[in-house]
Amino acid sequence: MPDAKIAVLISGRGSNLKALLDACAAPDYPADIVLVISNKPKAAGLDLARKAGVTQAVIDHRDFETREDFDEAVSERLRAAKVDYVCLAGFMRMLSPGFVDEWRGRLINIHPSLLPAFRGLHVQERMLDAGVKIAGCTVHFVSAEMDAGPIIGQAAVPVLPGDTLESLSERILEQEHRLYPQCLRLIVDGRARISGAVVQYDAQVEGAGSLINPPVD
């Protein structure tokens, strides 16, 4: 089977884009990134795409009168590139229901919390304020509500005494970079698929052990 064609949508730093680019560079990885779109002209992630020799486009949301017009311009580029899946990687704009409908089942996002807890912005700060002891990240299919949709995979990390916004964000981000390529592979390989409101794995995908924080003796 030919590799799946992936587009990645970014707004900033692009470290998750980098993780996906690195994964796709491996000969046995079943996907290729064919297009990177940023809504911000100065997004650092654009340089990563350029260095990897991937086509990049800036579609600046400020050039459009409505959200729908912007989303249609993005969709048009995605259609023209004949992409199979669209990965949001730090793409910080809400997408209109029309866009989500068109790409439903092919639109994937990563979010730095264990959804459905802590949707939205300033997630790591809010987790520290809430005193949670286990944090993490989620890769999920996108539905019309913000940070919602069938969950493909999650990674959990402990919140440690003395954690700061930076240390916790960094610990979660490290797992984001492992989780996103792994989840994309499961989807592209057809080993994980949407079933109603959830994602089901085929029999060969095994669960991991437990994370208890603080550890029990």
Q: Which of 147, 150, 188, 192 binds ligand GAR (CB under 6 A)?
A: 147
Token pair in block for residue 57: 């486009």
Minimum distance of ligand GAR from residue 109's CB (angstroms)? 6
Q: Does 149 bind ligand GAR (CB under 6 A)?
A: no
Q: Does 110 bind ligand GAR (CB under 6 A)?
A: yes
Written in H, E and C, the secondary structure of 78-119 is HHHCCCCEEEECCCCCCCCHHHHHHHCCCEEEEECCCCCCCC
Q: Which stretch binds ligand GAR (CB under 6 A): 6-14, 127-135, 158-166, 194-202?
A: 6-14
d(CA 51, CA 95): 28
Segment 28-47, which members bind ligand GAR (CB under 6 A)?
45
Provide CB contacts within 8 A for 178, sequence distance 6+. Answer: 19, 155
Nearer to ligand GAR, 71 or 147 (CB): 147
- H-helix or E-strand spanning residue 58: strand 56-58
Q: Which of 36, 39, 70, 90 binds ligand GAR (CB under 6 A)?
A: 90
Size of the site for ligand GAR (CB under 6 A): 15
